[in-house]
Amino acid sequence: MSGARGEPSDARGERAGARAERASAARAEPVSALGAIGWACRRDLLLTAHGKSELALVFVFFVLVTSLFPLGVGPEPALLRAIAPGIVWVCALLSALLSFGRLFGSDHADGTLEQMIVSGAPLAALVAGKMVAHVLVIGVPLAMLTPLIALQFGLSAGAMIVAVAALLLGTPILVGLGAIGAALTLGVRGGAALLALLVLPLAIPVLIFGAGAVDAAEAGMSAGAHLSLLGAGLIAAAIGCPFAAAAALRIALD
Partner 1 sequence: MNWFKYSSPASFYPVAGKVYPWFFAAAMILFVVALYVGFAVAPTDAQQGESYRIMFVHVATATLSMFLYVVMALWCASSLVFNTRLSAMMAQAIAPTGAWFTFIALWTGALWGKPTWGTYWVWDARITSELILLFLYGGFLALTQAIEDPRRADRAGALLALVGVINVPIIYFSVRWWNTLHQGASITVSAAPKIAQPMLVALFAMMLAFWAYAIAAALRRVRCIIVERESGSDWLRALKRQGTL
Which amino acid, one-letter code, is at 189? Answer: R
CB of 228 to partner 1, least distance (A): 14
Nearest to 167 by CA among 215, 213, 210, 205: 210
**What angle separates helix 157-184 from helix 101-109, to the nearest 10 degrees?**
30
| Residue 1 touching partner 1 (CB under 8 A) | no
Taking CB under 8 A as the rule, does residue 184 contact partner 1? yes
185 binds partner 1 (CB under 8 A): yes
Determine the interface stretch with partner 1 among 22-30, 82-90, 155-163, 181-189 (rule: CB under 8 A). 181-189
CA diameter of the chain = 65
Q: How far is CA 40 from CA 46, 86, 107, 114, 254, in A?
A: 10, 33, 12, 14, 21
**Contact in structure between 187 and 196 (CB atoms under 8 Å):** no
Which of 44-52, 58-66, 145-153, 242-250 is the region at the interface with partner 1 (rule: CB under 8 A)? Answer: 242-250
Binding of partner 1 at residue 189 (CB under 8 A)?
yes
Considering the rule CB under 8 A, would residue 105 count as an interface residue with partner 1?
no
Does the protein bind partner 1 through residue 254 (CB under 8 A)? yes
From CA 202, how far away is CA 174, in angstroms rounded? 9
Closer residue to partner 1 in complex, CB, 99/185: 185
Residue 180 engages partner 1 in binding (rule: CB under 8 A): yes
CB burial class (10 A; 0-12, 13-18, 19+) of residue 246?
A: buried
Task: Tell me: does residue 190 bind partner 1 (CB under 8 A).
Answer: yes
**246 part of the interface to partner 1, by CB under 8 A:** no
The number of residues that bind partner 1 (CB under 8 A) is 20
Cα(198)–Cα(177) distance, rounded to whole angstroms?
9
Closest of 246, 87, 233 to residue 173, by C-alpha: 233
Q: Does 244 bind partner 1 (CB under 8 A)?
A: yes
Q: Give residues 194-233 in contact with partner 1 (rule: CB under 8 A).
A: 194, 197-198, 200-202, 204-205
Interacting residues with partner 1 (CB under 8 A): 180, 184-185, 188-190, 194, 197-198, 200-202, 204-205, 244, 247-248, 251-252, 254
